[in-house]
Homo-oligomer: A and B are copies of this chain.
Amino acid sequence: MKKIRIGILGYGSVGSALVELIGVEHDAIAARTGLDLEVVAVAVRNITPERLAALGADVLTSDAKAVVADDEIDVVVELIGGVEPARRLILEALGSGKPVISGNKELIANVGAELFVAAQKSNVDLLFEAAVAGGIPLLRVLRESLVGERIKRMMGIVNGTTNYILTQMSENGAQYGDALAEAQQLGYAEEDPTADVEGGDAGAKAAIMATIAFGTEVFAGDVYQEGISQVTADDIASAAHMGHIIKLLAVVEEIDGEVSARVHPAMVPDTHPLASVRNSFNAVFIEGEAVGDLMLYGHGAGGNPTASAVLGDLIAASANLQRGISSGLGKLREARIRPMGECISAFCVHVTVRDRPGVLAEVAGIFGEHGVSIRSMEQAAQADIANIVFITHPSREADVHATLSELRGNSSVVEIGSVIRVIAPEV
């Protein structure tokens, strides 16, 4: 039986769930893996009486630097969040030959490449399953089960807050503001919800998904972001009328060696597996060349699910440490990040026009001139205006924007309403 001495940085909801989980499952893990896991240090910024009572003075410390430097510690778990001081602490731990487990998406999405090199140099693991989609075993599946698979595209519902808001809007007809307020009241959304609702959180996760799936350097800043704050109850009702539900998707794809990573709301067909992902659940839909369609679904946040993902990494890294091996990412490729204008999306476009003879042909003609082909069209006339809903075939984003720009300048067009991307139905 090999004793593994663990140092944890941070003791929030995930850290405390992890300490408890290691305690409860200690014997079962030892029986299954031969590893005797022991939490020997927990570093926090503030030592409170509650934390002292829970962990004891031998374990609790306010000196994170001492934890990563301690020769008595075998593995470091970083649950502080943010780039600094997490980055410096992890570099120090890796440099001294300690594997590191992190749940920190901001860190990995911004300075991951530097950390991967440091881990490789020391031949120890840097694992971060918990950084994307919480308890869902996504990254290990990509790195191991699908290591021989050519991933074409992944589409993820990777932000529970926005999925909760959109679910409330879909199922109860709530307006965005009311659903957000409810999410805040329930603790699903922060007081300042920007990172969730404007796509920043999902964007960091998209960068990590693209990095692991395609073996390329993709950083948070490479990800196109559009949030849900402009999505209205009308948009959702109109999408439902057409057999779709609106979801905030993180989409990553590889096309001819280039990578696209983007976050935006999209109309998902009701029969698509992503459509049934409700409330704060997360899911990632994977399209592989040989394996076809896969979806992984589960809790994307929360102390226990996230601690479960950290524990899986902790056991893997400890087993590798014992064997003197590591499961590095290999050398990351530098791939061109395809600009959004060059990406291909189908769109749903609401256009209000003056209801006069020939107007439909005129408007449809503008789509055609820009190479945007129309899949379906629905028109509702009221008095002297008509509301037309176009759904396009997949088209270059730049061509769609040129179409919209010309429509805005056309005298028959009263208004361009919502413009939302549309995901193709599953066969």
Q: Show the binding face of A for B, using Cβ within 8 Å.
A: 17, 21, 25, 28-29, 31-33, 129, 135-137, 140-141, 144-150, 215, 271, 273, 275-278, 281, 283, 288, 290-299, 302, 304-305, 307-309, 311-312, 314-316, 323, 325, 330
> Quick one: which of A147, A293, A315 has the most chain B CB within 10 A?
A147
Nearest-neighbor residue (CB-CB) of A330 within chain B: B32
Q: Find chain B residues with CB under 8 A from A135 CB.
A: 290-292, 294
Nearest-neighbor residue (CB-CB) of A310 within chain B: B148
Known interface pairs A144-B144, A145-B137; A297-B297 also in contact (CB < 8 Å): yes
> Quick one: which of A140, A141, A290, A308 has the most chain B CB within 10 A?
A290
Q: What is the bound-complex CA distance between A253 and B238, given in angstroms?
A: 43
Q: When the two chains form their complex, are residues B273 and A149 in contact, meaning their CB atoms are under 8 A apart?
A: no
Q: When the two chains form their complex, are residues B308 and A290 in contact, meaning their CB atoms are under 8 A apart?
A: yes
Q: What is the bound-complex CA distance between A169 and B169, given in angstroms?
A: 32
Q: Which of B28, B144, B288 lies in contact with A140, CB distance below 8 A?
A: B144
Q: When the two chains form their complex, are residues B149 and A311 in contact, meaning their CB atoms are under 8 A apart?
A: yes
Q: Which of B33, B148, B308 lies in contact with A311, CB distance below 8 A?
A: B148
Q: When the two chains form their complex, are residues A308 and B323 in contact, meaning their CB atoms are under 8 A apart?
A: no
Q: When the two chains form their complex, are residues A312 and B145 in contact, meaning their CB atoms are under 8 A apart?
A: yes
Copies of this chain present: 2
Nearest-neighbor residue (CB-CB) of A20 within chain B: B290
Q: Which of B146, B290, B330 lies in contact with A137, CB distance below 8 A?
A: B146
Q: Which of B283, B305, B314 lies in contact with A292, CB distance below 8 A?
A: B305
Q: When the two chains form their complex, are residues B308 and A148 in contact, meaning their CB atoms are under 8 A apart?
A: yes
Beyond A276-B276, A288-B308, A294-B299, 12 additional pairs, beta carbon < 8 A: A21-B290, A144-B144, A145-B309, A146-B308, A148-B308, A275-B276, A290-B307, A290-B311, A291-B308, A292-B302, A295-B295, A323-B325
Q: What is the bound-complex CA distance between A276 and B129, given in angstroms?
A: 26
Q: What is the bound-complex CA distance between A330 and B315, given in angstroms?
A: 15
Q: Find chain B residues with CB under 8 A from A330 CB.
A: 31-33
Q: When the two chains form their complex, are residues A147 and B312 in contact, meaning their CB atoms are under 8 A apart?
A: yes
Q: Which 7 residue pairs of A and B lie closest in terms of their CB atoms, listed nearest first?
A: A137-B145, A291-B308, A276-B276, A294-B298, A295-B297, A148-B311, A290-B308
Q: When the two chains form their complex, are residues B273 and A297 in contact, meaning their CB atoms are under 8 A apart?
A: yes
Known interface pairs A296-B296, A325-B323; A147-B290 also in contact (CB < 8 Å): no
Known interface pairs A21-B290, A291-B309, A294-B135; A33-B147 also in contact (CB < 8 Å): yes
Q: Find chain B residues with CB under 8 A from A277 CB.
A: 273
> Quick one: which of A33, A145, A149 has the most chain B CB within 10 A?
A145
